[in-house]
Amino acid sequence: MTDHVRAALRAQQIEVPSWAYGNSGTRFKVFAQKGVPRNPQEKIADAAQVHKYTGVSPIVSLHIPWDKVDDYEALAKYAGDLGVRIGGINANVFQDDDYMLGSVTNPDPRVRRKALDHLLECVDIMDATGSRDVKLWFSDGTNYPGQDSIRARQDRLAEALSAVYERLGDHQRMLLEYKLFEPAFYTMDVPDWGTAYAHCIRLGPKAQVVIDTGHHAPGTNIEFIVAFLLREGKLGAFDFNSRFYADDDLMVGAADPFQLFRIMHEIVQADALRADSGINFMLDQCHNIEPKIPGQIRSVMNVQEATAKALIVDAAALGAAQQAGDVLGANAVLMDAYNTDVRPLLAEVRAEMGLSPDPMAAYARSGYAEKIVAERVGGQQAGWGA
C-alpha cells in the first residue's frame, strides 16, 4: 500500500468525548457500570488509554458543566501530562428547568441572557484550555403548532449567535450543530444542515457546521451534505456515532459501516483528512451497556477502517469511469475499495507507530479495566445526570 495511505493513517486525529466514559442510558434507565470516572480528570485518564492503544485519538472534548473544574489551565496540563490535549468545549443549555421553553430562543429575555452567559463562559474556558472550538447544540424547539413564533425564535437565536461570534478570539471558532428532533418533537430551532449553514454564513468565517451522524431523518444522504459543506468551506466537524432508528448514539460504523465509508470517501476526495483541514473528527457516543473504554477503542478503529478503505479507492480509475459515464465501472471501483479487508494494513501501520497491532487485546491485557474498578470506589460516578 502506498506510503501516502500509511502516512495519512498514522497522522489521523480523532477527538473523543469525555461524556462517553461516564454512565449513560435512555429515559428508561441509565445503567451504572463499575470503575466509571467520578471527575473530569478520571475521564481524561480513560480517554488517554484510548490514545495509548490506537495512537490516533490525542484530543478530548469537554462538556460544561459536566466537566466543570476550578482550574482549567491545570486540567489542560493534566491532560498534556497524559499525552492528550483538550479539544472542543461543548456548551450545555439543555439541562436547566429555566430552559423548558428554550434557552437562547426562550420568549423570556431573562432566560435568554442566562443561556448566553453560559455560552460566553464556555469561550472563557476555551481561553484557559487553549481550545479552538466552542460547540453549540441547542435542544431548543417546540412541541405543538402555535406554541411559539418560528420566526421570532430564529431572530432570538441569531442574536445570541452573533453575541458569541463577537466574543470569539482570532483563532477561535463556533461550531453549530443541528438535529431533526428530540427533545422537541414539533420544531427544533436548528433542525437541519440548511438552517445551521444559513446562520453560519450570516455569522462569518469563524462559524462552521457540525454534522452529527445521528441527527438526520432516516434515509438522509449524509455524504451529500458532507460534499456540499466541504465545497462551501463550511464543514467544521463531525459528531460520529451510528444509529438504526433515531439519535441512538451507538458506536460509529456499528450500524452502517458502508455509510461511514461513503462519508470518509467524500473527505478523502476533498483532501480534507489532513489535520490542518480545519475539520474535527469527533466521536459523540454513549456506551449504555458495553464497557466504555473498549467501546471507544472499537469506535476509533471503525473510523480508521472506513478511512483506510476510502484512502485506497483508485481515484484515477474512478475519475475515468465517471468521465466515461461507466456507471457500473465507477461503482465497482468504489465497492472494490469498500470490500477490501484493510485490517492487515492497519495492523502494520500500528506496528510502524510502535503500537500493538490489536488495540483491543492490548488494552485487555493491560489490567487497566480491573485497576479502575478496584480504585474507583465511592464518590459520585459521572453521568448525564438528566
Q: Pick one of Mn ion, ligand LRH, none as the site partner of residue 208 (Cβ within 5 to 8 A by kind).
A: none
Closest CA to 250 of 260, 263, 264: 260
Cell numbers for 198: 444559513
CB of 377 to ligand LRH, least distance (A): 27
Q: Which is nearer to ligand LRH, 46 or 177 (CB)?
A: 177
CB of 325 to ligand LRH, least distance (A): 40
Strands 141-142 and 187-188: antiparallel
Which helix H or strand E contains 112, and what residues bound it? helix 109-129
SS3 60: strand
Closest CA to 79 of 38, 18, 123: 18
Q: Which is nearer to ligand LRH, 248 or 358 (CB)?
A: 248
Q: How far apart are CA 128 and CA 250, in angstroms?
A: 32
DSSP state of 325: T
Q: Which is nearer to ligand LRH, 179 or 309 (CB)?
A: 179
Q: Residues 6 or more apart from 152 whose CB is under 8 A from it?
A: 107
223 touching ligand LRH, by CB under 6 A: no
Residue 65: cis peptide before it, omega within 30 degrees of 0: yes
Residue 183: cis peptide before it, omega within 30 degrees of 0: yes
SS3 314: coil
Binding footprint of ligand LRH, residue count (CB under 6 A): 9
CB of 200 to ligand LRH, least distance (A): 16
The binding site for Mn ion (CB under 5 A) comprises: 212, 239, 284
DSSP state of 91: P
Q: Are 376 and 23 in contact (CB under 8 A)?
A: no
Show the beta-strand stretches assigned E in 130-271. Answer: 133-137, 141-142, 173-177, 187-188, 207-212, 235-240
Q: Which is nearer to ligand LRH, 18 or 356 (CB)?
A: 18
Q: Which of 67, 177, 189, 223 binds ligand LRH (CB under 6 A)?
A: 177
Q: In DSSP terms, which residues pair with 59 in a beta bridge? A: 15, 85
CB of 233 to Mn ion, least distance (A): 21
90 touching ligand LRH, by CB under 6 A: yes
Residues 234-263 that bind ligand LRH (CB under 6 A): 239, 247
Phi/psi of residue 340, nearest 5 degrees: -85, 130
Q: Pick one of ligand LRH, Mn ion, none as the site partner of residue 90 (Cβ within 5 to 8 A by kind).
A: ligand LRH
DSSP state of 19: G
Q: Which is nearer to ligand LRH, 24 or 356 (CB)?
A: 24
Q: Which is nearer to ligand LRH, 137 or 363 (CB)?
A: 137
Q: Pick one of ligand LRH, Mn ion, none as the site partner of residue 247 (Cβ within 5 to 8 A by kind).
A: ligand LRH
Residues 302-341 that bind ligand LRH (CB under 6 A): none
Q: Which is nearer to ligand LRH, 52 or 179 (CB)?
A: 179
Q: Pick one of ligand LRH, Mn ion, none as the site partner of residue 178 (Cβ within 5 to 8 A by kind).
A: none
Q: Which of 15, 140, 189, 212 binds ligand LRH (CB under 6 A)?
A: 212
Q: How far apart are CA 72 and CA 85, in angstroms?
A: 12
Q: Which is nearer to ligand LRH, 212 or 266 (CB)?
A: 212
CB of 212 to Mn ion, least distance (A): 4
Residues 130-149 that bind ligand LRH (CB under 6 A): 137
Residues that bind ligand LRH (CB under 6 A): 19, 90, 137, 177, 179, 212, 239, 247, 284
